Amino acid sequence: MKRKFADKSNWSRVLKKQFKLTYVDDEEYRGYVSMIKIEKIKYPLIKTMNNKDYRIADEGFIWLSHIPEDKHYAITSMFDEKGKIIQWYFDIIKDSGVNEKGIPYFDDLYLDVVILPSEEIILLDEDELRQALKIKDITEDEFRLAYREAEGVIGTFGTNIDKLKEFSNQQLERLIRA
């Protein structure tokens, strides 16, 4: 199981970035929100999904990460250099916490959900999840949790793109002002 950190300190593709972090506790959301603004990058990150290429990391792009308390998912809202949302990437997670340096992290359960502004929903890495179960990197309970949580994410967020967009934009504004 991989542990992923909000500051993406191990992201060797990114040569220079700005990082901001805040904790939000309001009616709509409770948890950490962090922002990475990519200033200099070795080469863009392009992912192919449903036979279409998406540039998801490049200079000027912003990755806004949300790690809510008491949830089994983390959301990365990816914005291009013009501030347009490219996608929402949901990591399905086992746990989250904060390390001794104050940086939030989560333990990734392999399964991911991508929601595009076009309302397309893509379930990713089912093969990795099955392999993790096969080699006993995760338990049967964690395997079932991953699928249950992915179904919940799709049911909650996949049908409400406007609310997801509004939430992401509000959190981005909050961090830009911070």
Which CATH number fits the domain that encloses residue 92?
2.40.380
Indicate the number of domains in the chain: 1
Pick from 141, 116, 115, 146: nearest CA to 128? 146
Please give the model's pTM, rounded to 2 decimal places: 0.95
Please tell me the predicted confidence (pLDDT) of residue 103: 97
Pick from 45, 50, 33: nearest CA to 118? 50
Buried b (16+ CB within 10 A) or exposed e, 130-163: eebbeeeebeeebbebbeebbebbeeebbeebee
Which residues does 122 contact at the CB level (< 8 Å), separation at least 6? Answer: 49, 50, 113, 114, 115, 116
Please tell me the predicted confidence (pLDDT) of residue 59: 98
Mean pLDDT computed over every residue of the chain:
96
Q: Which domain holds residue 170?
A: 2-177
pLDDT tens digits for 79-137? Answer: 999 999 999 999 999 999 999 999 999 999 999 999 999 999 999 999 999 999 999 99
